[in-house]
Amino acid sequence: MGHKQTDDAREETDNYQQDRFWNGPAGQLWVSSHEETERHTGPFGDVALLAAAPAPGERSLDVGCGCGTTTLALARSVGATGDVVGVDLSSIMLDRAMELAAAAKLTNVVFRRLDAQTAPLGRHVFDLVFSRFGVMFFADPTAAFTNLRASLRPSGRLAFACWQVPSANPWMALPSRAALQFFGLTAPPHDAPGPFSLADPDRLRRVLTDAGFNDIDITPEIRTLTLALGHSLDNWVHERLLMGLAGEIYANSSVEIQSRARQLLISSVEPYQVEDGLEMSGASWIVTARP
């Protein structure tokens, strides 16, 4: 197992903002709330893994692998005769991924810190390119998917989960919209790098087609998410604010402003309150394609 630091993503590339974001407080928060995040992203990832069907002996790439949960799942599926490379921009999250791989005593997995859009990934080396919510942050998605396709063997396949539109994902969209409103910011364009950049299935299909993929299948996966379990609502909205579009402004605001922002968010999610948390729907696409 190894963890090779590269400087590729440190330069002022198009994905520099993402690099800053995922290596900053949001990445730290992602690590500290890993178990809770797993509760709501896990089931979507399981469906994507089923669609990916990793088989013993295969080589897989896990794109935007974060803390490595799906990288380890892939490693178990491909077994000792296969292997998995988990790639991500975030050192903080990769460190956690390496700890988990070591604790699981998996020796067929390596992690690399790199920008999956621009870094050389090898040519025709993987049977499977997989991602759970790690492919929506590229400044140039067509270039990124072209790079990913080049890494696939001709007989290989792509499988990933990405989020549907904000209105189908109130658990992310409501806090984000309330924060933008509170801080007087304009929402970014719907196709800007971020969780919803591939939400429009026509755009998603076009990006993959332009990147050279065939046999593209886009299937909806919709679930009810139970959020803020075991958290105070105040703490949950605090985390959503830090991870959201206004995260940096919120983090640098006074305690009083932060508290007012949280109050606004709490009122925006009140209709979704249940006894032990919040119940909100989440909707993803499960995408498969061939190079």
Ligand X SMILES: C[S@@+](CC[C@H](N)C(=O)[O-])C[C@H]1O[C@@H](n2cnc3c(N)ncnc32)[C@H](O)[C@@H]1O
List interacting residues with ligand X (CB under 6 A).
15, 18, 22, 41, 45, 64-67, 69, 87-90, 93, 115-117, 132-134, 137-138
Report phi then psi at 4, rounded to 5.
-95, 120
DSSP labels for 206-259? HHHHHTT-EEEEEEEEEEEEEESTTS-HHHHHHHHHHHSTTHHHHHTS-HHHHH
**For ligand X, the closer CB: 52 or 65:** 65
For the bound state, the minimum distance from the C-beta of residue 139 to ligand X, rounded and expressed in Å, comes to 8
CA distances from residue 223 to 173, 238, 284 in whole angstroms, order as listed: 16, 24, 9
Listed in sequence order, the residues at least 6 apart from 105 whose beta carbon sits closer than 8 Å to its beta carbon are none
**For ligand X, the closer CB: 30 or 250:** 30
**Separation CA 62–CA 70 (nearest Å):** 7
Q: List the alpha helices (DSSP H) in 13-135.
A: 16-23, 25-32, 34-52, 69-78, 91-103
**For ligand X, the closer CB: 45 or 82:** 45
Strand 277-290 with 152-163, pairing: antiparallel
**For ligand X, the closer CB: 157 or 182:** 157
181, 187 Cβ separation under 8 angstroms: no
**For ligand X, the closer CB: 94 or 237:** 94
Tokens of 200: 């429009």
**Separation CA 244–CA 198 (nearest Å):** 17
**For ligand X, the closer CB: 45 or 170:** 45
Element (H, E) at 152: strand 152-163
**Separation CA 73–CA 69 (nearest Å):** 6
For the bound state, the minimum distance from the C-beta of residue 118 to ligand X, rounded and expressed in Å, comes to 8
**For ligand X, the closer CB: 89 or 109:** 89
For the bound state, the minimum distance from the C-beta of residue 273 to ligand X, rounded and expressed in Å, comes to 25
For the bound state, the minimum distance from the C-beta of residue 67 to ligand X, rounded and expressed in Å, comes to 6
For the bound state, the minimum distance from the C-beta of residue 91 to ligand X, rounded and expressed in Å, comes to 9
